[in-house]
Amino acid sequence: MVDINREGRTNAVTVGVLSLAGGLCFATSFYGRQTPLIEYCFKPTEVKNPQDFCTPDKRYTMPVPFTSPEQQPANPKYQEDWQLPEHATLLRTIPPTNPHKWAWTLSSTVFFGLAYGLSKARERKLLEYLPQHREEVKSSWLLNRIRVSNHQQKVEYAAELDYQLWQFSADRAVRAKQLSMMSPQEIQVYQEQARLQAEAETRVITNSVEPAGLLKGQTLDDVTAPGDKLSGNEAIPFPGQPTIPTISLGLGVRRDNGEPIIITPDGISLASFMIAGKSGSGKSCLVQNLLCSMLDAGTDYYQFFVCEGKADYFQFKDSPHCLGYYSSADLNGSSEILQCILRVRGIINDRIKLFREINATNLAGYNSQRSPSERLPFLYLVCDELMNIFASSDEGQTTFDYLREIACLGRSSGVGLIFVDQRMKGTKNLNLAPIREQVAYAICGLVKGVETSELILGIKDAINLRGKGDFLVATDDDYFRMQAYLVENVGAYIQSDSDGTITDTYPVNNPQTTISLSANISNALSPEMEQALEWLRTHEGWYTAGAIRRGCRKLKEMIELSQVEQVIQRLVEFELVEESEGKYRGL
């Protein structure tokens, strides 16, 4: 493209110079006379007063006549008076002022011809360059878009890095302030707690990468021995089966590489699940597989609540792991399901209070400082087919807001959500997108319409699945297809679950009353709430809503101060912020 532009400029300059030269030559050809003139007058042969004759006003001019009389009639414009009059007196011959008019005219024609020829040659050359120029324009546009995108990413990365550096310096300043106010004994206790928490996190990471069990055969003789080979009618056990003790949850096998999909909770962030699919897609079998994995791990690791609209998990009701089973088919079943959801929400609040007492931030840090009998297990809330129950209820969206809070706030508390339903597109009064944003594993089986597939996965691929345990899984950093494990004999797991009974410390008939069912809950921790909470934690003392608004960028975007107060009141409800006389302080 550079060569094309250079050639174009050269051609334009050349054509301009030739046109200018042709114009100058053409203008010069109009100037002056090409033929000489003779000047004459009439004067008698004998005069007495010669001064009165041949004066300037009595002189005449005419072209030089032909010197050969026989050539005169050959001129088409021949006139008889072109000859010098007989009695005229020749005074002088006036030379021509522009004797080379013909040369200037010829030069002008040549210059204009060359300019015209170069212009036509340039047009033909541009037609030859057109395909190449079109491709170069496309590529240069694409490179420019990439350059702009890279610049935007660099700017965003620099801004994020600046924010992280500011956050690090702010946290460091707060930590230094806290340490300066502590006694040496308190500092020693704090260091010991930090060391224990780091050891617990390291232990969890180490355990998460250990294999669930060893394959048979440790030597070549053991490998070649025919007695330990699997026969054709033997089933391959999946992770979580009673023969392989583990705290992992087995989902299935990846179809792309055949690797098993095993989830090992670490106590730092517990994964939640959102499973969709029509009848026969394998949703219930997948959930039963997860529950059997929990039964196999023992009550020290897992407990769960079950809320369903059918009877797929009724056999888990009497398991020591099950803290409560509620079905919409029972009398007042819908009300009990709602109370169970509030009950789990209250458990999260109680665990957060326990964490604060020992300065722990998550379940792993809490359990590392407690004896085995005082440690808290992972807790899951299983919700199956709740759309039909709450679709026409006035409190439907409020209930689903509570479920989103459980999926969001329960991660560090060791409380997770397993949300299962056939249709996920929601209704006019229900919006499931906030729940989808908080789950770590979005799983979709065969569906009838594309709405559910687009909500869960963001694409329409789920309508092409085979069913019978064939699922597509979307995580924060991966997307794959899997074949779910199938538990053929659930009763064997329940029979092997002999860990004892669990004391129910949260009776259903006494739900948490601190959270109103009519409350307008928007999001568990919205970006505005997170920024306000972080600002309060980095600034000691009590502040009004207006001061908090001036210190937070996202709160400045709110037009009314009442909206800012609503955001802070949500933090007060979560017991993350303390209020006194219209002022607030971070906890």
Of 36, 13, 224, nearest in space to 122 by CA: 13
Any known ligand binding at 410? no
Q: Give the pairing of strands 415-421 and 273-276.
A: parallel
In terms of residues, how long is the chain? 587
245 Cβ neighbours under 8 A, 6+ residues apart: 296, 297
Any known ligand binding at 283? yes
SS (H, E, C) 418-484: EEEECCCCCCCCCCCHHHHHHCCEEEECCCCCHHHHHHHHCCCHHHHCCCCCEEEEECCCCEEEEEE
Dump the DSSP string for 250-319: EEEEETTT--EEEE---SSS---EEEE--TTSSHHHHHHHHHHHHHHH-TTTEEEEEEESSSTTGGGTTS
Any known ligand binding at 280? yes
Of 582, 573, 577, 580, nearest in space to 547 by CA: 582
Any known ligand binding at 278? yes
537 and 173 in contact (C-beta within 8 Å)?
no
The H or E element spanning position 325 is strand 322-327
- What pairs with residue 577 in β-bridges? 586
Q: How far apart are CA 281 and CA 468, in angstroms?
A: 5
247 and 301 in contact (C-beta within 8 Å)?
yes
Q: Give the pairing of strands 273-276 and 441-444.
A: parallel
307 and 289 in contact (C-beta within 8 Å)?
no
Any known ligand binding at 586? no
Q: How far apart are CA 162 and CA 160, in angstroms?
A: 5
Any known ligand binding at 279? yes
84 and 67 in contact (C-beta within 8 Å)?
no
Q: How far apart are CA 216 and CA 223, in angstroms?
A: 7
Helix, strand, coil % in the chain, rounded to nearest 5: 50, 15, 35
Helix (H, G, I), strand (E, B) or coil at 177: helix
Of 106, 119, 120, nearest in space to 21 by CA: 106
Any known ligand binding at 149? no
251 and 482 in contact (C-beta within 8 Å)?
yes
43 Cβ neighbours under 8 A, 6+ residues apart: 50, 53, 54, 89
DSSP 8-state secondary structure symbol assigned to residue 227: G
Of 578, 586, 580, nearest in space to 531 by CA: 586
Any known ligand binding at 208? no
Q: How far apart are CA 272 and CA 402, in angstroms?
A: 14
- Helix ranges (H only) for 298-372 are 333-357, 363-367
CB atoms within 10 A of CB 111: 20
Binding site listing for ATP: 277-284
Going by the annotation, the residues of the binding site are 277-284
